[in-house]
Amino acid sequence: MNYEYFLAKRIIGSKAYKSSVSAPIIKIGIAAIAIGIIVMMIAIATGIGLQQKIRDKVVAFNGHVVISNFDSNNSQESVVPISNQQDFYPEFTSIDGINHIQGVATKFGVIRTATDFEGIIVKGVGKDFKWDYFKDFLIEGRLPDYTQNRNEDVLMSQFIANKMGFKLGDTFNTYFIKDDTNKPPNIITYNIVGIYNSGFQEFDASFVIADIKHIQRLNKWDETEIGNFEVFINDFNQIKEIGTEVYKNTPPTLNTQTIVEKFYNIFEWIKIFDNNIYAIIGIMILVAGINMITALLVLILERTQMIGVLKALGSNNWSIRKLFLFNASYLIVLGLFWGNLIGLGLLFAQKYLKLFPLDPSIYYVTEAPVYINLNYIIALNVGTFVLCLVMLLVPSYIITKISPVKAMRFE
């Protein structure tokens, strides 16, 4: 054991140290580290969590890449059909990183009751539909089964159900306007077998999931014709590269668009979270570092006589600086311990108890989501410790200016 570490340990463990003049300032320094790590941890966990939740909800309704026809139709309704007799369907094996592809179609409809009406988008899906996301969104009932004959079972959002006064098991009429508006609309009576809530109000207010066979019949398409393909990938970080590859591997008559391009405003908005996280981390580390610098300076001034004695006994400046840096390291670790304990406690409480709700019309989620990962927690702690310690190297330089003779006379 080197003597700097030994002396630092003795100083920390002494009763005089705990009841000294510097004790309140030391506690403030520890509290600053703890509060800093709590705020940084919450900022990262909620920032990344919110990004992932919003991203996953957009993916649930659109896939990662949308393959559609080149046409002038900018609405969400499928107008020009695509044949599903494609080389890339039902398995897109020519590109690595794609895990699923499905054919869907959409059509505008109007729900009408005796007292009210509501415009909706009926999203027709078939036996190839990826239900993974909607399993998480399902709050009541079951998911429809479209693997057999055409049926009238639908999955409706809680938002539309509440607005129209529907409940699980109810039936309702949906009107579909024909191209020739002089003719009466087509009417389909649907059964509500499941109710979902994605928390993404922009989609929940519009989409009802139904059997694609109904849309094919309404549009006079055959069973091989769909509105568009939705492609799902393994790694969202590769969406731009895979989107380009999908475009290269589809016929020239088809267009491809990633959800980042299709919902540009949403993804530009969630990118701002990264800047906020970086800003919060920078400010918190700076505040914690300044508090630790103050605590270290007080510790040095309080032990000026001891510094003089050590210099008189032959200790060099770096050895004495190391002694105080060991002392400061203990305070930083103590602050990190309490910060992690409280921070993780708050994050787990939010994850399982949903303590802090959010307005879905603004944030696209009903509660503040948290992302807890060991990698960023370790990186945050190590980074905070190292940066705070580096910041303390400058004030520790004051030790080199202390004269042994004057220090031993210091009162």
pLDDT tens sequence across 121-137 = 999 999 999 999 999 99
Q: How far apart are CA 199 and CA 129, in angstroms?
A: 21
CB burial of 138-168 (b: ≥16 within 10 Å; e: otherwise) equals bebbebbebeeeebebbbbbbbbbeebebee
The residue assigned the tokens 């993804």 is: 267
What distance in Å separates the CA atoms of residue 239 and residue 256, rounded to the nearest whole number?
A: 12
- Contact between 209 and 125 (Cβ < 8 Å): yes
Give the tokens for residue 168.
């699980």
pLDDT (0 to 100) of residue 72? 47
Residue 259 tokens read as 């959800």
Give dist(CA 372, CA 351) in Å, integer: 9
User: What integer pLDDT is reported at residue 314 of this predicted model?
Assistant: 72
Please report the pLDDT score of residue 316 as a whole number.
73
The answer to whether 116 and 164 are in contact (CB under 8 A) is yes
Residue 213 · residue 124 · CB < 8 Å = yes
Distance CA 195, CA 155 (A): 6
Give me the pLDDT at residue 75, please.
66
State both tokens at 106: 């959409």
pLDDT of residue 161: 94
Break the chain into its structural domains and give their ranges.
3-56+267-408, 71-252
The pLDDT averaged over each successive group of 10 residues in the chain (411 residues) is 65 57 76 91 91 91 91 71 90 90 94 89 94 93 92 95 93 89 88 93 92 93 93 93 93 91 90 88 88 79 71 73 80 92 94 84 80 92 89 74 56 49
Flag whether the pTM goes above 0.85: no
